[in-house]
A and B are shown apart, each in its own frame.
Chain A
Amino acid sequence: DGGITQSPKYLFRKEGQNVTLSCEQNLNHDAMYWYRQDPGQGLRLIYYSQIVNDFQKGDIAEGYSVSREKKESFPLTVTSAQKNPTAFYLCASSWGDRTTDTQYFGPGTRLTVL
């Protein structure tokens, strides 16, 4: 999992609550990403950031929000507007601002809505 940490490993949320997933990297990577993975499925891109204070929506951004105030950190907030948030969330980072370069992944956060 390299130098990327995600916390918590498991997260339980009641319906209607916002929750924030943490992602920190010490690889000095410029680009960071958030993916969602459902059982038996591939990764779907939620948001990505190529530089501090800038980020772009991915394929499934609705119901999610992010911030990139520091190079090392890219937290993801799952809002109450996300209708089906139960999933495995993966954070990744890559060198430079080429978002098609090799990506390094964190260990993931499993979110369950009760």
Chain B
Amino acid sequence: SQQGEEDPQALSIQEGENATMNCSYKTSINNLQWYRQNSGRGLVHLILIRSNEREKHSGRLRVTLDTSKKSSSLLITASRAADTASYFCATDSSGYSTLTFGKGTMLLVSP
């Protein structure tokens, strides 16, 4: 089964609002990454957080990691219509030699 699972599956908000997506995983990890995919395109790396980090920021993105709960969250502040995309978490973990991607959260930001 896939290591990471995003929640919610879909999220619809208005421009200017914040969007929060969550990712849960099952086994211990070295790092967790978030990627973005516009419809019909390839994935773009957003941010990587290591297992010894609790929070990381990049522009309007804020990622948290709670290794005790095996979960991470991605917060996009002041959302824009251009943020409309699917967002995936990817984990590396013991027993897996490559990244494992979740099924993603589809975010729709309406003007």
Contact = CB atoms under 8 A, between A and B. Distances in A.
Interface of A: 1, 4, 33, 35, 40-43, 45, 48, 56, 58, 88, 90, 92, 99-100, 102-108, 110
Contact of A103 (B30, B45, B102, B104): B45
A41 B2 CA distance: 11
Interface string B90-104: 101000011101111
Nearest to A56: B97
B41 A100 contact: no
Interface residues of B, number: 22
B103 A42 contact: yes
Contacts of B40: 88, 108, 110
A106 B42 contact: yes
B103 A40 contact: yes
Nearest to A90: B42
20 contacts: A41-B103, A42-B4, A42-B88, A42-B101, A42-B103, A42-B104, A43-B101, A90-B43, A99-B99, A100-B98, A102-B33, A102-B48, A103-B45, A103-B90, A105-B42, A105-B44, A106-B42, A107-B41, A108-B42, A110-B40
A92 B42 CA distance: 9
Given A43-B88, A105-B43, A100 B2 contact: no
A108 B33 CA distance: 20
Nearest to A106: B42
Nearest to B97: A99
A89 to B, nearest CB: 10
Contacts of A108: 40-42
A77 to B, nearest CB: 20
B67 interface: no
